[in-house]
Amino acid sequence: MQENPIVLSLEGITKRFGALVANDRLDLTLHRGEILALLGENGAGKTTLMNILFGHYVQDEGIVRVGGQVLPPGSPGAALAAGVGMVHQHFALAENLSGLDNIRLGTEPLLRLGNGRSVARRKVEQIIAESGLEVDLDRRVAALTVGEKQRVEILKALYRDVRVLILDEPTAVLTPQESEGLFTVLRRLADNGLGVIFISHKLGEVLSVSHRIAVLRGGRKAGELVTAEADRRAIADLMVGKAVAEVKRTAPTPRETLVEFRNVSLARGVARAPLSNASFELRAGEIVGVAGVSGNGQAAIAALLSGLAVPSSGEVLLNGVTITSADPRALVAAGVARMPEDRQHDGVVGTMSVADNIAIEEVRGKPFARMGMLDRKAMRERATAAIAAYDIRCPGPDAEARLLSGGNVQKLILARVLEREPRVILANQPTRGLDVGAQSEVHRRIIAARDRGAAVMVISEDLDELFALADRFLVVHAGEVTDAGPSAVLDRGSVGLLMAGQSITSPSAASA
C-alpha cells in the first residue's frame, strides 16, 4: 500500500509543556488504506500527538497535512471537516440520549423538520450491517455496557465519513472474537481507502491488524517498522528502550479455601449487571482469573469482594465466616486487599496527599490515629517508605494524588493494600492503561503475593494478562460464572467462546 497517496502527514511536530518536551520533531505519515499502529509507553507522547492532530493542542513547531492541505493549528472544527475522526479511550457520549441520537449528534442540520432520523437510521444500519458493530440503537446510552458504548463511538466516527480514523485502545473491552471482528472491519474499511491509526498497548493485536508500526518513546520516534517484518520482542524493547524483564510464573500450590461464593446472586442496581447463582472458591496460593466481556457480572463479584455489597441471595464466606454486612473496613481488617477497577475514581482522593491516600483505609486505628487525633508523622513515614519500596514517582508524601500518573496511582494502591500482607487479594483491572514496565511490576507483585500464600482474584479484560497470571479461569457471561478450569488446558479461543456464552464442548459453536 506504500504506493497509495498520503492522506495524513505530520511534519516536524514539536510540543513543549514548560520544560517538558512532549513531542520532539515527530514525523508521521499515513497512506490511504493503511492501518498504522502507534505504540508507546504512557508519557511517550501519543496522546499529545493525537491532540495536536485533532486540534485540541497547538503545536510549537511543525505542520499537519490532511490530504495535502495544511490544517490550521488548534482547530478541532477544521480537523473534523477534513475528515479526521477519533474514538477516545474515555467515551464522549451523552448518556441520556439513545445510541442513534448520539451518532447523529452534531451532524443533523439545525433547521430541518421531518425525517432526518429515519435517513440517519438507514445509514447507521447499513454501516452496522457492513461492520458487524451490533448495537441497540434505541436504548439510552446509559443503559449500554462499556463494550456497547465503544461500538457507538466507532459508529459515530464512521457515520461522519471520515478519511482518517484514530482509535485509542479500542479493544480493551472486547472479547477476542469481537476484537477479531473489529479487525476484520478495520481491514475492510482500509481496503475501501480509509486510513486508520490504531493506538494500543497490546503487541499481539498490533502485530495482527496493522500494516506498519510507529513506536514513540520520550516524545521521539524510537522506530518505525513494517509489521510483516517485525517481532514482538523487538517492539517491546523499542518501546521501553531497554530489555523488558519477562515475569516468571512459578507453579501454583493451592491450599485451603479462603473465600467461598455459595449460590450467590446480586440484583441489578447494586452493580450495573446482575450476578446469578454464582458458586466458586478462592484458595490460598492460587491466582484465579475472571475473564468476560465488560458488564457481564464482574462488577458484582468485585462489589461483593470489596465490601460494597452483600448478596441478594446466597452466601459469601471469608475464612469460613459468612459476610453479613457491606463494610469495607471489616474486610480490610480481615486481610482482604482490594484494588478498584477505576483507580482514579474509586482508588484515590485526588486532592488529598499521597500519604493520606496510603493511610485512608486504616486511618481510624494505630499507627495513624490515637483517640481520634491523626498522627501525621506516622502517615508520612509510611508514605516515604512506600514511595521508596514501590517506586512511586511523585514529588513526595505531601504531593496531591491527582498529580500522579495512572501507573503511579496503581503503585500507590499496591503499597496501600499489600503492605499488610493480605490473605486475599482482589485485583480488578490491575494494569488497565499502564505501560509495559509498570505492568510487569504489578504482575510481579501479584505473583509474589500468591507465592506468599495469598488467594488472588484477577479480573481483567486483557486475556494476555489473564494468561500471564491466572492459575485457574472463571468466565462470566450474562451474570453466570463458569469454572473453566486450570489455565494450562485453556487457550484464547476456548475462553473466548465461554465469554460469548457458548460452551467449549459444543462443536457447532466453534464457527462463531
Partner 1 sequence: MSFRLEPRANPSLALKLAVSLVAGLVALLLVAIPVLFAGGNPFSAYGLIIQGAFGSMFAFSETLNRATPLILTGLAAAVAFRARLWNIGAEGQLYIGALAAVLVGSGLFAMPPMLLIPTVMIAGFLAGGLMMVIPTMLKQRFGADEVVITLLLNFVVILFVQMLIEGPLKDPLSMGWPQSVPLLAEAKFDKLVPRLRMHWGLIVGLAAALLLWLMVRKTVLGFEIKAVGENRAAARFAGIPVNATMLKVALISGGLAGLAGVGEVAGVKGYLSADLSPGFGYSGIVVAMLAGLSPIGTVFAALFVAAMFVGADSMSRATGISNYLADLVVALSLLCVLVGGFFLRFRVRYERRPALAEGR
Binding residues vs partner 1 (CB under 8 A) = 17, 51, 54-58, 72-77, 306-308, 327-329, 331-332, 338, 340, 345-352, 356, 360-361, 363-364, 369, 372-374, 376, 400, 403
Nearer to partner 1, 185 or 369 (CB): 369
CB of 479 to partner 1, least distance (A): 22
Nearer to partner 1, 401 or 499 (CB): 401
CB of 332 to partner 1, least distance (A): 6
Confirm if 28 and 219 have CB atoms less than 8 A apart: no
Nearer to partner 1, 34 or 362 (CB): 362
Among 47, 84, 85, CA closest to 69: 84
The residues facing 239 across adjacent strands are none
Nearer to partner 1, 104 or 156 (CB): 156
Nearer to partner 1, 335 or 350 (CB): 350
Cell of 280: 466458586
Q: Where are the beta strands (DSSP E) in 253-376?
A: 257-266, 275-283, 286-291, 313-318, 321-322, 336-339, 369-370, 373-374
d(CA 133, CA 506): 25
CB of 190 to partner 1, least distance (A): 27
Nearer to partner 1, 200 or 306 (CB): 306
d(CA 432, CA 339): 12
Cell of 376: 501525621
d(CA 117, CA 390): 54
CB of 461 to partner 1, least distance (A): 20
Nearer to partner 1, 77 or 269 (CB): 77
CB of 226 to partner 1, least distance (A): 32
Q: Classify burial at 134, counting beta carbons within 10 Å of its beta carbon; exposed 0-12, middle 13-18, buried 19 or more.
A: exposed
CB of 426 to partner 1, least distance (A): 11
Nearer to partner 1, 397 or 501 (CB): 397
Question: What are the backbone dihedrals phi and psi of residue 278, each rounded to the nearest 5 degrees, phi first?
Answer: -90, 135
Nearer to partner 1, 244 or 330 (CB): 330
Nearer to partner 1, 58 or 143 (CB): 58
Confirm if 307 and 331 have CB atoms less than 8 A apart: yes
Nearer to partner 1, 186 or 323 (CB): 323
Could you tell me how many residues make up the chain? Answer: 512
CB of 60 to partner 1, least distance (A): 9
Nearer to partner 1, 51 or 131 (CB): 51
CB of 368 to partner 1, least distance (A): 8
Nearer to partner 1, 51 or 276 (CB): 51
Among 49, 31, 32, CA closest to 40: 49
The residues facing 27 across adjacent strands are none
Confirm if 158 and 165 have CB atoms less than 8 A apart: yes
d(CA 7, CA 1): 12
Cell of 43: 508519557
d(CA 151, CA 173): 10
CB of 429 to partner 1, least distance (A): 14
Among 437, 407, 427, CA closest to 287: 427
Question: What are the backbone dihedrals phi and psi of residue 294, each rounded to the nearest 5 degrees, phi first?
Answer: -60, 145
Cell of 113: 423538520
CB of 402 to partner 1, least distance (A): 9
CB of 344 to partner 1, least distance (A): 9
CB of 101 to partner 1, least distance (A): 24
Name 189's Cβ contacts closer than 8 Å, sequence gap at least 6: 131, 158, 165, 196
Confirm if 212 and 229 have CB atoms less than 8 A apart: no
Q: What is the largest CA-CA distance in the chain?
A: 75
Output DSSP code: residue 348: -
CB of 122 to partner 1, least distance (A): 33
Output DSSP code: residue 353: B
Among 129, 131, 155, CA closest to 141: 155
